[in-house]
Copies of this chain bind each other. A is one copy, B any other.
């Protein structure tokens, strides 16, 4: 990966985190547990800022000044953050980016205060539910600050409505499907159903990031604008490819680089496309082995290793990798429709980055 691009990406991450970590933002949140729960992921090891970066690039590619879109970039990062906080409660994950998840952190604090273990777990979950709720509100407030940067209030209202209806609904429908699918027999699913879930869980927010950047850049309410359409189709497809790559890393990635345990998707029985592909192509002996380990939280490393071998033998990892590349190819055809610029180059580099990363 090009060092130049990584420094451009890091620069946008710095801009966005400087904005959301500023005293002006921080001082809204009073009370120790309120502030600490809302800022746990913000002050901790930060995310890759892929969504805010693509929003800022999209604004520039549409001919706008990316500085103006900064409140929207901050909004999208906090929007993503609240969904993580609630997903972590739902999935009962205790680690995120090498630190504790919000509910786990506050469960531990409650234990230190002398709560019994069940009560501490309840307290942790309660704080995490409330923290995500506050962050959702915060993301809307951040978006409303666009109007102070010269964006037409009518445009800002349109963006808020899109984020709070279309995007929230897509994301949460995706999360609901994920919860439902993980409990459904794998044979009852289909590739299209899984891709739809991936688009809702991840692609939709990336599509919106591009759309929002372009609409701000053009200061337009018109979602149907050709430039807005090309850019948002591009970012949405890259988002889905990113999720496919994530599923691959969940099987063959490096635990240390990822900050999460590789193989956990297998033990959790997650309905990823890799697993679905393997299952529908497995012979009966392989199917039996897969069924025994998928969704078995107590599976040994050796058992998980056998599953990884099967996924590899059946070409499932390659299959999904090729699918991700196909999404990137389609995405590029959209972005080639917009005028050449330094920002368009950044978008093209970003697309490669989405599937070439190993963390």
Contacts and interface: CB of A to CB of B under 8 A. Distances in A.
A237 interface: no
Given A30-B169, A34-B173, 19 more contacts: A28-B165, A29-B169, A31-B177, A33-B180, A82-B133, A92-B122, A126-B175, A126-B179, A127-B176, A134-B168, A136-B168, A137-B163, A137-B165, A140-B164, A141-B160, A141-B165, A144-B161, A153-B154, A157-B160
Interface in A154-202: 154, 156-157, 160-161, 163-165, 168-169, 172-173, 175-177, 179-180, 183
A133 B34 contact: no
A350 interface: no
Given A115-B183, A136-B136, A156-B157, A172 B34 contact: yes
A90 interface: yes
Contacts of A123: 179, 183
Contact of A130 (B134, B137, B140, B172): B172
A168 B86 contact: no
Prevailing SS type, chain A contact patch: helix
Given A115-B183, A126-B179, A133 B168 contact: yes
Interface string A242-277: 000000000000000000000000000000000000
A132 interface: yes
Nearest to A133: B172
Interface of A: 28-31, 33-34, 82, 86, 89-90, 92, 115, 119, 122-123, 125-127, 129-130, 132-134, 136-138, 140-141, 144, 147, 153-154, 156-157, 160-161, 163-165, 168-169, 172-173, 175-177, 179-180, 183
Contacts of A137: 136, 163-165, 168-169
Contact of A183 (B28, B119, B140, B175): B119
A169 B28 contact: yes
Q: Which 3 A-B pairs have the closest CB atoms?
A: A137-B168, A153-B153, A137-B164
A193 to B, nearest CB: 12
